[in-house]
Amino acid sequence: MSGLSSLSVPLGKAVRALSRLRGGGSAFPGLVVERIDPGFMARALRDLPRGVVVVSGTNGKTTTTKMVVELLEGQGLKVFTNRTGSNFTRGVAAALLGDVDWRGRLKADVAVLELDEAHAVHFVNLVPPTHCLLLNVLRDQLDRFGEIDKTTRLLEQIAVKTTGTVVLNREDPRVASIASSVKNATVAYFGLNEGLRDTFPSDDELRGATGTAPASRLPADVVLETVDSNTASFSMDGESSTVELSLRGVYNIFNAAAALAMARVVLGKDARREALLNSLAAVEPAFGRGESLVVDGQPLELVLVKNPSGFRLGLKSFDATGYATMIAINDNYADGRDMSWLWDVDFDTLREAGVDMVSGVRAYDMALRLKYDDVSVADIDTDTGSALRTFIHSAKGRPKRIFCTYTAMLAIRRDLSRITEVKVVS
């Protein structure tokens, strides 16, 4: 280390402290240290005894990363992760600044990093990961990437740079196809029992395809065998284990198989099965992702929806019977501006109970979508704050569920605490 780079850590830490005082953004100090010392991240991460794990894919990154972290912590490992939710390179650099000592050394056994699929390519060029976990290529963010095949190519570059093991979803044809490009690492898979294939349609099976593809013949290290509400059974090494999860939603439960597979790769022969399953049972949802709250003495569930597959699985996971339902759809940059995807979701399951409130910037697009599926809508209000007040008032005494896009979720989460006392259950 010489010149500026010897100063980058103290300087970065100082910027971090200052921006914290100002209540500023979490990534800015990362940007500073990236600019003055491009080698900072690679130096901090290269000597971790259990390596660097990258988690990517279009959907479920945050919750899956949280699961991998907690599974490894449950085995006694000290894990570094980008918990602030900043999944860009500079977000990782900013998180590192908080955890390294003044000489830029990180005291951890392993790093588990959630990376945005586009920014991951930049990251893996700086820091080749020892392992990567690639979840899925679903049809969201087409307004960002143009084509989902292009998203596949981005994930492929992560796999190509990986030096140890690449863990792939064998049920997603685009993700599974990446295996043929992996030359310097071994490939492992997670997957589904044949009976569950039609519960998780791949993106190509959303429309038009006749039936679902047969179960993959690729060998999988972890297979999700059954799901019944929150109870799931996983098969590992030919042995089946049943776990009662705190997480809800079938998509989270499939990602639990992914997290188990990744944790087993990192741990190798040190993996202790019972402890892994206990840790998995205890994992709670990440912020805003299938959280259960209590509002006015009744449960209120926030379900984040970002694309047709996710929305479909959300509707499938949660029975509408007895629930008051609100849907809030925004089209801000972080949500994706393209509204086409709403037309690839079937809303039949809401037909009987109807929808109490439709909100968000694109409330009328959503209401129009429901109209064409013969789902009745009691009220429409584009303002999420006043919509939420009306919804909570009119649904008094009933459990509530809100399906919302990302920025709508942030707004609702903020407004909820203003309107009423919010207790986080899980």
Partner 1 sequence: MTHDAPTSKGTIRILQLYPRDMNIYGDWGNVLVLKQRLAWHGYEAEVLEHNAGDAFQEDVDILIGGGGQDSGQVVIQEDLQANAARLRRLAEDGAPMLVICGLYQLFGKFFKTHDGMLIPGIGILDIETHGGSERLIGNVVANSEEFGEIHGYENHSGQTYLGPGVRPLATVTKGEGNNSSEDHEGARYRNIVASYLHGSLLPKNPAIADFLIREAAIRKYGSFEPGNLDDSLAELARKHAGARPR
Using the rule CB under 8 A, is 379 a contact of partner 1? no
Minimum separation from the CB atom of position 338 to partner 1 (A): 5
State which of residues 101, 147, 194, 352 lies at the interface with partner 1 (CB under 8 A): 147
Tokens standing for residue 373: 């599926």
Using the rule CB under 8 A, is 341 a contact of partner 1? yes
Minimum separation from the CB atom of position 355 to partner 1 (A): 13
Using the rule CB under 8 A, is 406 a contact of partner 1? no
Q: Which residues pair with 234 in a beta bridge?
A: 224, 241
Dist CA 287 CA 81 (whole Å): 15
Dist CA 167 CA 261 (whole Å): 7
Using the rule CB under 8 A, is 362 a contact of partner 1? yes
State which of residues 101, 338, 352, 421 lies at the interface with partner 1 (CB under 8 A): 338
Dist CA 165 CA 78 (whole Å): 20
The residue (of 99 and 205) whose beta carbon lies closer to partner 1 is 205
Using the rule CB under 8 A, is 102 a contact of partner 1? no
The residue (of 243 and 367) whose beta carbon lies closer to partner 1 is 367
**What x/- string results for residues 298 through 337 when contact with partner 1 is judged by CB under 8 A?**
---------------------------------x-----x
List the beta strands (DSSP E) in 219-328: 222-228, 231-236, 239-244, 291-295, 298-304, 324-328
Which of 143, 145, 203, 151 has the alpha carbon at shortest distance from 178?
151
Total Cβ atoms within 10 A of residue 424? 11
**What x/- string results for residues 237 through 276 when contact with partner 1 is judged by CB under 8 A?**
----------------------------------------
The residue (of 368 and 422) whose beta carbon lies closer to partner 1 is 368
The residue (of 371 and 414) whose beta carbon lies closer to partner 1 is 371
> Near partner 1 by CB under 8 A, which window of 16-24, 44-52, 292-300, 359-367?
359-367
State which of residues 224, 300, 361, 395 lies at the interface with partner 1 (CB under 8 A): 361
Total Cβ atoms within 10 A of residue 325? 25
Which of 78, 54, 222 has the alpha carbon at shortest distance from 154?
54
Q: Give me the sheet containing 186-192, strands edge to edge.
A: 79-81, 110-114, 52-56, 131-134, 165-169, 186-192, 222-228, 231-236, 239-244
Work out whether strand 291-295 and strand 423-424 pair parallel, antiparallel, or are unpaired: antiparallel
Minimum separation from the CB atom of position 35 to partner 1 (A): 28
- Residues making contact with partner 1 (CB under 8 A): 139, 142-143, 146-149, 204, 207-210, 331, 337-344, 361-365, 367-369, 371-373, 382
